[in-house]
Amino acid sequence: MKKRKTTEDHIKQLQQEGKEGVRYTAMMPDVPFLVFGLFSDIGWLIHLIAGILYFCRNGFHHVLDGIALIALAAVVFGVAYLIYLNKIHEKEIATRYQKNLSFGVTVYAGLAGAVIGILQIVLYAGASSELIWLVIGGLLNFASGLPIYLSFQKGIFYGVK
């Protein structure tokens, strides 16, 4: 609640300066936001670790390996952008561009990684433990991050509980 208050104070300051722009507010209450956020974090961490292990053990041999690497890079980018938004107090009340580059990229990169992992299992590698965990992590990231991403509504709403 204190963190959201800090975010709201920052946006009020931007409004006074005329720099707030069109904002989208995460309308999910704090506790579900925290729970879904934690599961999403666990998901992208599993996805990232499994992807790194897969590439370290197997290298790059197929076109899907390159696409899987792009999905991993997208997860890292989305998470880094989320950290940046959190640092500048604009995570829960973001512009459309910010919410799409943070939550959107992270969530859909998880889905892309899971789909690519399934295709790699079916077409090339078989069911290696790294690919199975990559799929699990990507799907967990997607399933728990999507409700947060979809909770954003246009406008600035204060005091979401």
The mean pLDDT values, 10 residues at a time, for the chain of 161 residues are 74 77 83 94 96 91 91 96 88 86 96 95 84 96 96 79 65
Measured CA to CA, the distance from residue 118 to residue 125 in angstroms comes to 10
Element (H, E) at 26: strand 23-26
Q: Is the dihedral of CA 62, 107, 134, 53 positive or negative?
A: positive
Q: Residue 76 is encoded by which pair of tokens?
A: 């890292």
The pLDDT assigned to 1 comes to 67
Domain residues of the chain, as ranges?
Answer: 35-153
**Residues 6+ positions from 84 with CB-CB distance below 8 Å:** none
The pLDDT assigned to 5 comes to 74
Collapsing DSSP to helix, strand or coil, 154 comes out as strand
Q: Residue 22 is encoded by which pair of tokens?
A: 């069109």
- Quick count: other Cβ atoms within 10 Å of Cβ 66? 12
Q: Between helices 129-151 and 30-58, what is the axis angle to 10°?
A: 150
Residue 147: closest CA among 59, 68, 66, 37: 37
Q: Between helices 30-58 and 63-87, what is the axis angle to 10°?
A: 140
Report yes or no: 132 and 121 within 8 Å, Cβ to Cβ. Answer: yes
